[in-house]
Chain A
Amino acid sequence: MGKGVWEIKAIYPDLKENQSNDSAFVKTMSQLKKYLVPGDYLLIVFILFLAGAIHVLLHQNVAQGETAIVSVNGEEVYRLSLKEIHDIPILGTIDTVHVQTNGSQIWLHGSPCPYKICEKMGKIHLAGELIVCVPNRVLVRILPQKRDDLDATTM
């Protein structure tokens, strides 16, 4: 019986050290540097730069939105002013979902989709922001303020 333990210790001499979760984590983190090569860092920086550039390009005119478009399956069904108060049932491809505004924000509630992710996306109010419900095919998009400019850069 005792021999087994010694055998394990012979194979894994640093077993005792690894018993603490902290030191194992610190060890893995310090080993990370060993795994990465310069190309990896370059790649990560490049992708982050790309993401930042796209983000800046799309959010150049970010401001409080004024009008939201609700579409089902890619077809516009409603155009609402965010300055008004609405609570409107929308028929998606699964069932009805409610789109609500409170004078500045817009959000979805009572969605029939399985995970309610669109509801968790919360209340949006900025120009260009959107809420998507993929299962129910419902999309809420706040119109960009300088609509022509933005469409020219995104198309």
Chain B
Amino acid sequence: MSHKTTQIGLMVATAAILFSVESLIPVPFPWFRLGLANVITLLALKWWGLKESVFIVLLRVVIGSLITGRLLQPLFILSLGGSLAGALGMAGFIRFNQKGLSLIGISIIGSVLKNIAQLILTYLLIISETHLVILAPAMLVASIITGFITGLIAIILDNRLYKTVIRFGSNSR
């Protein structure tokens, strides 16, 4: 197994644990979740790239849903769709707009896109009510707060976690 495979595996494990623990905490709507696993998605994007990040998101949602017993339920599709939309959006901004936004800004964009995707998926899969749009302003404000916090955590963890992950990869036999 190459070093990078091990490193990505460690990131998947960390993200899956964060995702599972967080999904045990009740919130009014899925889009008011802090999304701590997003810290891992964001850092993977920064360190490696879109491919690795999407891979981590896919495995994290599948493993996390196996742990919480929600595999293939509507909430699983909400998590998957939301996380992928967030990862793709953040990837675009990291690539083309690196200096215009800090990791906090990138994280807010990811959070907004994740929540818009989840609102659309809620409409498509759970409640076909166009008046769900009345929840959009609260959702946007919640996205700023959750995105800000996860982005700040990503900035603080960036160097420390990178060292740990890289060391983890090179120590493995």
Contacts and interface: CB of A to CB of B under 8 A. Distances in A.
Interface of A: 32, 35-37, 39-40, 43-44, 47-48, 50-52, 54-55, 58, 71, 73-74, 114-115, 117, 120-121, 128-130, 132, 134, 137, 139, 141, 154-155
Interface residues of B, number: 36
A128 B132 CA distance: 10
Most buried by A among B130, B132, B137: B137
Please report whether the interface of chain B is mostly helix, strand, loop or mixed according to DSSP: helix
Nearest to B104: A40
A121 B112 contact: no
A40 B105 contact: yes
Contacts of B108: 40, 43-44, 47
A54 B137 contact: yes
A141 B152 contact: no
Given A35-B155, A44-B108, A154 B133 contact: yes
Given A48-B141, A48-B144, A134-B122, A35 B152 contact: yes
A40 B133 contact: no
B129 A37 contact: no
B109 interface: yes
A153 to B, nearest CB: 10
Contacts of B99: 37, 39
A135 to B, nearest CB: 9
B72 interface: no
Contacts of B129: 71, 74, 130, 139, 141
B115 to A, nearest CB: 11
Contacts of B28: 117, 120-121
29 contacts: A35-B102, A35-B103, A35-B104, A36-B102, A36-B105, A39-B99, A39-B105, A43-B109, A47-B112, A47-B141, A48-B141, A48-B144, A51-B140, A54-B133, A54-B136, A58-B133, A74-B129, A115-B26, A117-B29, A121-B28, A129-B134, A130-B134, A132-B29, A134-B122, A137-B126, A139-B127, A141-B129, A141-B131, A154-B131
Interface string B22-36: 000011110000000
Contacts of A54: 133, 136-137, 140
B152 A40 contact: no
A38 B126 CA distance: 39
Contacts of B101: 37, 39-40, 43
Contacts of B105: 36-37, 39-40, 43
